[in-house]
Amino acid sequence: MEFLVPIRLHMKVVTHLSGHDFILTVVKGNREHFEQPGYICTCGSFYTTEPSISSSNAISTVYQQMFHTKTRFSGPMIMGFDKPDICKKLLEGVLFRPYFVNLELVRVFVFGIARSENDQWGYAGVGFKSSFLFYLAKERCLFLQEFEEDVCKVTIIYKMEVEKIYCASTPNLVWERIFSEQGTKVAKLKTFTGRMLFGIENTITQRLIQTLKIPSCSLSDWNNDVLMEEVYSYHLKR
């Protein structure tokens, strides 16, 4: 189980190194992917010419330009992600934090949580999304897993192009179809059930799904009779 660091778009961090202030800024997009975070570093007249793929690259590049050295820095530590107080502040107002479920062969990235009453789905629902990387015929592919209405869907993506889409009524059944069609290409994954590969069996996933069932309210909701009845029935009546 591994939570991602809480990166905020447009966040700025100033760090003092060798008598100079280095400013790191998080932007949208980098030279490899326009939807992923990018990092810009500036210090006086020195700066990165384009967003870097990591904070480590950004600050190290500018430092090396200034001092003509090969010194490298840990960007996450420079940005304070190792400090609990900073992470806590960055997570204020965040209802869901994406995380990795580490299996023996793959790291399942869970980036959406939703609930249903379907026990065969592990009570996950439409809006639950996960993915992982795996090699098919020596080519690294992305397996995108999600729920749509009454089906479980797995999309295999290679180099940003959809290779194949599989659908079935449950996570286990959709993966049985993949195992049957892909054969030896995915043989190593047969040690896992479809629900495990979706990341649903994980205890943290189940805990997050269950919290979606607990009704809550604020002062502004007191005139909402339907919601207040749900809150009363769950917290007081029983």
- Residue by residue, DSSP assigns 46-108 as EE-SS-BSSHHHHHHHHHHHHH-S-----HHHHTTTT-HHHHHHHTTT-S---EEEE-SS-EE
User: How far apart, in whole angstroms, are the C-alpha atoms of residue 131 and residue 145?
Assistant: 6
pTM: 0.75
Whether residue 54 has pLDDT greater than 80: yes
131/102 Cα distance (integer angstroms):
12
* Structure confidence at residue 193 (pLDDT): 97
Structure tokens given for 103: 């299996």
Lowest mean pLDDT among 5-9, 13-17, 40-44, 62-66: 5-9
pLDDT, position 35:
82
**Whole-number pLDDT of residue 212:** 81
Chain segment 146-169, per-residue pLDDT in tens: 999 899 999 999 988 999 999 999
What average pLDDT does range 188-206 have in this prediction?
A: 96
Predicted pLDDT at 222: 82
Question: How many separate helices (H) and strands (E) can be counted in the chain?
Answer: 7, 11
What is the pLDDT at residue 1? 66
Q: Give mean pLDDT, residues 52-79.
A: 95
Residue 238 pLDDT more than 50?
Answer: no
CB 25 within 8 A of CB 12: yes
User: Residue range 100-126: average pLDDT?
Assistant: 94
Which domains does the chain carry? 2-90 (no CATH), 99-211 (3.30.160.360)
